[in-house]
């Protein structure tokens, strides 16, 4: 294709005049292609798909019933702007009930069209050219991408097994701390599955105050906390003075595609977010916000979602352990993040997690997501489609049979 007349007009942040010409294939595209190849070459082999990071279920019937009713309500037809009071009030009740966090729904909570846009918009409130955002790696990159769009840069904080998958805040050079405006955290952490502790959050608050940094804690997976009750950053004294927490309806309520979440915490940061948001979108459809409010008020949903993914993680861990993997049920999320095999009993070697992942999908139709940012790890998601517990067991049996045959070496 010849270049359009506007080829030189693309902004540098997306590649400038070279935009659209790169041949680099991104990780998730490589996985998709390998999946297509495995399906085409081995139609007889069931694809065991641990690659998808999306809930496998629809939103609960009670939530869909509210949506079905509200979609016909003419009062819901217009722009929602910065959100309806009923949703903010339900969010405040949810924060109080689950985490003991008291928030003023009028000033300290604002809805967002999912947590992704909130992470994309918050840098606009703080980042000038030359400013720094501190971000954990591996992780969800959106706030970092937008930091760069505004002329800032990202300082990566590796989440290493040696540090128990916490960032080493003390290792950040003084000049970086001086330039840093945002610290973006995500606990329960995706992909490592690590839960935050009160002690860690206290250290984060001290760090933020000492270096005058705003904390953005991404709580997208918070309802998927196992073993320990879900912990909100805002429940730790002093947290509301230094930042905000972003909540999502996606994971904990099976409402991935509905696009709804909320930002809560320091009143002035919530206000700045609302101002940026008001200049970016016109709010989520009011019927969806009302259905979201009903979900937030339903005390039965989080337990059911949690129980399902915990059960699946337990089965997966038991299966992988039998095949040589050294893994434990994670503290949270629906991901198992586990060291990638270095090779196979037959002498095959894998230099990276990506190489191991490509082998598993193309040769054995087992789909995983590789991470090579801070050690070689594979992420297994338990959001595969299986209608009942027996189907889960059948999938685990297939996984075990295929892995035992190749004997991974670690
Ligand atoms: C860590 C993390 N943050 C945020 C998101 C975005 O979630 P939402 O659906 O609320 O936009 C995801 C989705 O995968 C995620 O894993």
| pLDDT tens column, 279-292 | 999 999 999 999 99
By C-alpha distance, which of 166, 164, 172 is closest to 136? 166
The tens digit of pLDDT for each residue in 58-117 reads 999 999 999 999 999 999 999 999 999 999 999 999 999 999 999 999 999 999 999 999
115 in ligand 1 pocket by Cβ < 6 Å? yes
Q: Say what the pLDDT of residue 393 is.
A: 97
Residue with tokens 């009740």: 93
Q: Provide the β-strand partners of residue 244.
A: 216, 265
Quick one: DSSP state of residue 193? -
190 in ligand 1 pocket by Cβ < 6 Å? yes
Ligand 1 pocket test, candidate residues 117, 137, 247, 248, most atoms within 8 A of CB: 248
Per-residue confidence band for 180, with pLDDT thresholds at 50, 70 and 90: very high
Angle, helix 61-70 to helix 286-297, in steps of 10 degrees:
150
Ligand 1 pocket test, candidate residues 59, 113, 135, 140, most atoms within 8 A of CB: 140
Quick one: DSSP state of residue 244? E
Ligand 1 pocket test, candidate residues 139, 191, 220, most atoms within 8 A of CB: 220
| 331-365 core/surface letters (b: 16 or more CB in 10 A; e: else) | bbbbbbbbebbebbeeebebeebbbbbbbbbbbbb
* DSSP labels, 64-94: HHHHHHHTT-GGG-S--TT--HHHHHHHHHH
Kindly compute the dihedral angle of the four CA atoms of residues 287, 334, 100, 81, in this order, to the nearest 10 degrees: -30
Do 230 and 222 meet the contact criterion of CB atoms below 8 Å apart? yes
Q: What's the length of the chain?
A: 410
User: Helix, strand or coil for residue 335?
Assistant: strand
- 318 CA from centroid of ligand 1 (Å): 27
218 in ligand 1 pocket by Cβ < 6 Å? yes
235 in ligand 1 pocket by Cβ < 6 Å? no
Structure tokens at 347: 């002498």
245 in ligand 1 pocket by Cβ < 6 Å? no
């Amino acid at each position: 294709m010849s270049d359009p007349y506007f080829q030189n007009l693309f902004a540098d942040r997306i590649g400038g005049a070279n935009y659209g010409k790169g041949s680099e294939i991104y990780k998730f595209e490589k996985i998709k292609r390998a999946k297509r190849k495995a399906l085409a070459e081995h139609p007889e082999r069931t694809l065991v798909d641990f690659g998808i990071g999306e809930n496998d279920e629809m939103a609960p019937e009670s939530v869909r019933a509210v949506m079905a009713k509200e979609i016909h309500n003419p009062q819901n037809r217009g722009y929602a702007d910065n959100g309806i009071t009923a949703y903010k009030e339900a969010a405040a009740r949810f924060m109080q009930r689950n985490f003991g966090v008291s928030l003023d729904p009028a000033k300290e909570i604002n809805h967002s069209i999912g947590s992704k846009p909130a992470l994309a918009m918050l840098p606009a409130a703080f980042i000038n050219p030359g400013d720094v955002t501190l971000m954990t790696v591996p992780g969800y990159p959106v706030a970092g991408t937008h930091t760069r769009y505004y002329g800032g840069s990202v300082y990566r904080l590796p989440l290493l097994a040696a540090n128990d998958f916490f960032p080493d805040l003390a290792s950040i050079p003084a000049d970086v701390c001086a330039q840093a405006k945002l610290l973006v955290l995500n606990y329960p952490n995706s992909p490592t599955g690590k839960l935050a502790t009160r002690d860690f959050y206290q250290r984060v608050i001290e760090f933020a105050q000492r270096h005058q940094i705003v904390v953005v804690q991404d709580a997208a997976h918070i309802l998927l906390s196992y073993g320990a009750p879900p912990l909100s950053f805002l429940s730790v004294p002093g947290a509301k003075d230094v930042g905000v927490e972003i909540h999502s309806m996606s994971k904990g309520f099976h409402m991935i595609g509905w696009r709804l979440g909320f930002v809560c915490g320091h009143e002035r940061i919530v206000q700045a977010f609302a101002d940026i948001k008001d200049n970016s979108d016109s709010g989520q459809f009011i019927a969806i916000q009302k259905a979201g409010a009903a979900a937030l008020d339903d005390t039965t949903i989080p337990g059911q979602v949690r129980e399902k993914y915990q059960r699946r993680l337990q089965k997966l861990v038991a299966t992988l352990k039998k095949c040589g993997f050294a893994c434990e049920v994670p503290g949270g999320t629906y991901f198992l993040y586990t060291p990638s095999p270095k090779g196979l009993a037959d002498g095959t070697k894998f230099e990276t997690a990506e190489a191991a992942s490509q082998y598993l999908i193309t040769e054995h139709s087992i789909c995983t997501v590789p991470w090579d940012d801070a050690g070689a790890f594979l992420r297994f998601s338990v959001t595969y489609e299986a209608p009942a517990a027996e189907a889960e067991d059948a999938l685990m049996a297939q996984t075990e049979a295929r892995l035992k045959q190749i004997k991974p070496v670690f």
